[in-house]
Amino acid sequence: MIKLKIKTGDIVRVITGDHKGSEGKIVKVDREKNKAIVEGVNMVSKHTKPSAKSPQGGIVKKEAPIQISNLSLIDPKTKEATRTGVRVEGDKKVRFSKKSNQVL
Protein backbone atom coordinates (compact mmCIF):
# COMPACT_ATOMS: atom_id res chain seq x y z
CA MET A 1 0.00 0.00 0.00
CA ILE A 2 1.34 3.43 -0.93
CA LYS A 3 1.23 6.58 1.20
CA LEU A 4 -1.46 8.89 -0.21
CA LYS A 5 -1.20 12.67 -0.49
CA ILE A 6 -4.97 13.22 -0.30
CA LYS A 7 -7.58 12.32 2.28
CA THR A 8 -11.34 12.46 2.83
CA GLY A 9 -12.71 16.01 2.89
CA ASP A 10 -10.04 17.53 0.60
CA ILE A 11 -11.12 19.65 -2.37
CA VAL A 12 -9.56 18.23 -5.54
CA ARG A 13 -9.51 18.89 -9.29
CA VAL A 14 -9.52 16.18 -11.96
CA ILE A 15 -6.40 16.76 -14.07
CA THR A 16 -6.90 14.16 -16.80
CA GLY A 17 -9.58 11.95 -18.31
CA ASP A 18 -13.21 12.50 -19.33
CA HIS A 19 -13.96 14.76 -16.37
CA LYS A 20 -10.86 16.95 -16.69
CA GLY A 21 -11.24 20.33 -14.97
CA SER A 22 -14.13 19.40 -12.68
CA GLU A 23 -13.73 19.92 -8.94
CA GLY A 24 -15.28 18.39 -5.86
CA LYS A 25 -14.83 17.17 -2.31
CA ILE A 26 -13.48 13.68 -1.65
CA VAL A 27 -16.18 11.50 -0.10
CA LYS A 28 -14.26 8.24 0.25
CA VAL A 29 -10.74 6.94 -0.41
CA ASP A 30 -10.02 3.29 -1.24
CA ARG A 31 -6.33 2.75 -0.39
CA GLU A 32 -6.31 -0.85 -1.63
CA LYS A 33 -7.29 0.11 -5.20
CA ASN A 34 -5.76 3.65 -5.20
CA LYS A 35 -9.13 5.19 -6.05
CA ALA A 36 -11.26 7.96 -4.59
CA ILE A 37 -14.91 8.95 -4.90
CA VAL A 38 -15.30 12.68 -5.61
CA GLU A 39 -18.63 14.42 -4.95
CA GLY A 40 -20.45 15.25 -8.22
CA VAL A 41 -17.70 13.93 -10.51
CA ASN A 42 -17.67 10.77 -12.69
CA MET A 43 -21.43 10.20 -12.39
CA VAL A 44 -22.68 6.84 -13.72
CA SER A 45 -26.21 5.46 -14.19
CA LYS A 46 -26.89 2.37 -12.10
CA HIS A 47 -29.93 0.20 -12.73
CA THR A 48 -31.62 -0.89 -9.48
CA LYS A 49 -34.17 -3.62 -8.91
CA PRO A 50 -37.27 -2.80 -6.86
CA SER A 51 -36.64 -3.41 -3.15
CA ALA A 52 -37.99 -2.36 0.24
CA LYS A 53 -35.73 0.72 0.20
CA SER A 54 -36.72 1.78 -3.34
CA PRO A 55 -40.03 0.10 -4.25
CA GLN A 56 -40.05 1.70 -7.71
CA GLY A 57 -36.54 0.62 -8.76
CA GLY A 58 -35.22 2.31 -11.90
CA ILE A 59 -32.06 4.21 -12.83
CA VAL A 60 -30.01 5.93 -10.12
CA LYS A 61 -27.14 8.38 -10.73
CA LYS A 62 -24.13 7.89 -8.44
CA GLU A 63 -20.42 8.71 -8.31
CA ALA A 64 -17.92 6.13 -9.52
CA PRO A 65 -14.33 5.93 -8.20
CA ILE A 66 -11.51 7.83 -9.95
CA GLN A 67 -7.84 6.86 -9.97
CA ILE A 68 -5.95 8.99 -7.41
CA SER A 69 -3.20 9.77 -9.94
CA ASN A 70 -5.84 11.70 -11.94
CA LEU A 71 -6.61 14.03 -9.01
CA SER A 72 -4.75 17.10 -7.79
CA LEU A 73 -5.28 18.87 -4.49
CA ILE A 74 -6.58 22.47 -4.63
CA ASP A 75 -4.73 25.10 -2.61
CA PRO A 76 -7.33 26.97 -0.48
CA LYS A 77 -5.39 30.26 -0.76
CA THR A 78 -4.64 30.43 -4.52
CA LYS A 79 -7.49 28.14 -5.70
CA GLU A 80 -5.00 26.36 -8.00
CA ALA A 81 -3.84 22.74 -8.18
CA THR A 82 -0.82 22.15 -5.96
CA ARG A 83 1.50 19.43 -4.75
CA THR A 84 1.79 18.70 -1.05
CA GLY A 85 4.67 18.22 1.33
CA VAL A 86 4.98 17.19 4.96
CA ARG A 87 6.92 19.03 7.63
CA VAL A 88 7.17 18.96 11.41
CA GLU A 89 5.81 21.95 13.32
CA GLY A 90 6.43 21.62 17.04
CA ASP A 91 5.74 17.97 17.70
CA LYS A 92 3.13 17.44 14.93
CA LYS A 93 3.48 16.47 11.28
CA VAL A 94 1.45 18.78 9.01
CA ARG A 95 0.70 18.82 5.28
CA PHE A 96 1.48 22.03 3.42
CA SER A 97 0.95 23.40 -0.07
CA LYS A 98 4.11 23.60 -2.17
CA LYS A 99 2.70 26.61 -4.09
CA SER A 100 1.72 28.90 -1.21
CA ASN A 101 3.67 27.16 1.60
CA GLN A 102 0.45 27.27 3.67
CA VAL A 103 -0.61 24.48 6.06
CA LEU A 104 -3.57 22.49 4.72
Helix, strand or coil for residue 87? strand
Q: How confident is the model at residue 47 (pLDDT cuts 50, 70, 90)?
A: very high
Contacts by residues 16-20 (CB-CB < 8 Å, ≥ 24 positions apart)? 16/70, 17/66, 17/70, 18/42, 19/66
Q: Residue 1 above 70 pLDDT?
A: no
**What's the half-sphere exposure (Cβ side, CA atoms, 13 Å) at 97?**
20
Beta-ladder partners of 36: 29, 66
Least confident of 23-27, 39-43, 74-78: 74-78
Beta-ladder partners of 94: 87
Q: Give phi and psi for 78, each to the nearest 5.
A: -95, -10
pTM of the model: 0.79
What's residue 80's pLDDT?
87
Q: Residue 60 above 70 pLDDT?
A: yes
What's residue 101's pLDDT?
85
